Amino acid sequence: AQSVAQPEDQVNVAEGNPLTVKCTYSVSGNPYLFWYVQYPNRGLQFLLKYITGDNLVKGSYGFEAEFNKSQTSFHLKKPSALVSDSALYFCAVRDDNTNAGKSTFGDGTTLTVKP
């Protein structure tokens, strides 16, 4: 079985400060991990993914995420937040040991960046 948790419903940061949005996962095989962003009343947009290889993954809009196998985490980070980064962020996982095609999404974390 696969599952993913986003322990924070809301993250607030000041513009220019670093931001972290947390994600932990559970899989029986190897994880494939994804981050998506959703702006109000819109669909989700893909930010980045971890498949294999380098634990630090770089994605769109200056975001990056670090895969930590021992802590089963895949936290999303950005060195300097922008007000325009304010949105709803979803972490998703797929287990390479389960039926292909099914992703499990976290409940989402609302990021608010204040000027």
Partner 1 sequence: DGGITQSPKYLFRKEGQNVTLSCEQNLNHDAMYWYRQDPGQGLRLIYYSQIVNDFQKGDIAEGYSVSREKKESFPLTVTSAQKNPTAFYLCASSIGPLENNEQFFGPGTRLTVL
The reply on whether position 63 binds partner 1 by CB under 8 A is no
The reply on whether position 67 binds partner 1 by CB under 8 A is no
The reply on whether position 54 binds partner 1 by CB under 8 A is no
Q: How far apart are CA 46 and CA 34, in angstroms?
A: 8
The reply on whether position 75 binds partner 1 by CB under 8 A is no
Q: Which stretch binds partner 1 (CB under 8 A): 16-24, 60-68, 76-84, 90-98?
A: 90-98
Residue 10 near residue 110, CB atoms below 8 Å:
yes
Looking at the Cβ atoms of 13 and 57, the one nearer to partner 1 is: 57
Closest CA to 70 of 31, 111, 17: 31
